[in-house]
Each structure stands twice: as C-alpha cells, then as structure tokens.
Amino acid sequence: MSAEHAAAGGGAPGDGGAPSRTGRSRDAAASKQALLRAAQELFGQQGFERTTIREIGERAGVDAALIARYFGNKAELYVAAVVAEDAAVAGPAAFSGLAQIAETLVRRADERGPGPILQALIRSDTLPEIRVAAGDRIARRVVEPLADDIAGQHLDRPRLRAEVAVAALYGISLGRSLGWFEEIRSVPRADLLALVTEALTALTAAGGGVEASGGGGADGGAGAGRAGDV
C-alpha cells in the first residue's frame, strides 16, 4: 500500500470495505501535522538550506512526496511551519511589556539557539517569501504589542521605538547564542536581562529620558544630543 494511499486513509486490499471520509481526513491531517512538526524541528536545528525534503519525511515518519501534495514545495512548507509555530503559542496580547519580551527572547535563545524565524532573517540566501513570513511573525508577536504599550504612554513614534528595541533584543540574544561577545555569552541570564531592560526602558517608557530631537542650548543642557555622547 502506498504512503499516499495510507495518508488518505485507504484500507488494505481485500479488507472488504472502503475507507470512510472521516478516516481519510483524520489520517491526512495527522500526516500533515507530523510534517509540520518535523519541519519546525529540522529548520530550527539546521536552517532552511541544509534541511532536505527527505529528512523531513523521515523525521515525520511519512512519505516525503506528501510534502508536494500538502504544501507545494520546501519553501512553502517553511512558511507553513512559521505560521503553525505562530498559531501554537500565545498571541501578541501575551506579552505585557519590554521586560517580558526581553526575557522570552533571551530564554529561547539560551534553550534553543537561533530558531527558524531568526535564521530566515539573517541568512543571505533566504528566499524572499520566507523572509517576509519571518518578518511578519516578528511584527505581530513582538513589535506590535510593544508599540501598543509605548503608544499607551503617549510617547512619540511608538512603532519606531518598538522596532529599535526589538532589533536590539534580537541582536543581543543572537550574539549570546553564537558567542560573539564573551561577557554577553557568559553573564547569568538574570543579570543580562536586568541590564538590557534598564537600558531599553529609556527608549520605551515615559520618563525614560529620551528626547525626540535635540533642543538644548549652546551650553549643552538637557535634551541636547552631542556627538561626544555617542
């Protein structure tokens, strides 16, 4: 019996009965879900380019040819895996501010390393449709909730502030995961989070001391931005 026949819920020859529509749908859904889970695991561990269709099928325990039936191709499977991963976790409302976003990103980097979403953004050979899907997920899950929080504090340019903060957090979590900087890599997570949150609060919270534009006088008073301060 072929894998396609099994995935569709077909019975063995001579079993005396045609498969029910419910059985076919249930088996097809199980095969599709197994492929999604396998894709999420392998893309997260190896990246898009190093993961093969055959490996995904083997990890899922189904015929890799079913990827073409259910998803089209590997790139479309990647996008589907991104969407499924997004749907499997709490929505943007689960984030309650900068501290929680920082803790989530750094903890995930510590536990899993760069996942498929971040890899899709940083790899130069990422297909355009995959990069778009990854960027959309970050926008929905991280940037937009933080921008809403900033807007609620009546700060100017909340989206820009949120994007700057999120870009910094992703850079820090990636640098920690890949060992780019010794102190960032080795410091206890709680200490790193306290420092990062303190630094970025100035950007994202009312009263943080960030001015939209320099307004100080010649004496370099409050609000003046000077090159020597950078």
How confident is residue 25, by pLDDT bands cut at 50, 70 and 90?
A: low
Q: Is the pLDDT of residue 222 over 90?
A: no
CA proximity to 39, closest of 88, 106, 97, 92: 88
- Which residues have a Cβ under 8 Å from the Cβ of 141 and sit 6 or more positions away? 86, 89, 91, 92, 95
What average pLDDT does the chain have? 77
Q: What is the pLDDT of residues 165-179, one digit of tens each?
A: 999 999 999 899 888
Q: What is the pLDDT of residues 139-150, one digit of tens each?
A: 888 899 899 989
> Residues 39, 77: contact at Cβ < 8 Å?
yes
| Domain ranges within the chain, ordered by starting residue | 23-88, 91-210
CATH architecture of 23-88: Orthogonal Bundle (1.10)
Give mean pLDDT, residues 68-81: 87
Q: What is the pLDDT of residues 97-129, one digit of tens each?
A: 888 888 888 888 888 777 767 877 887 777 787
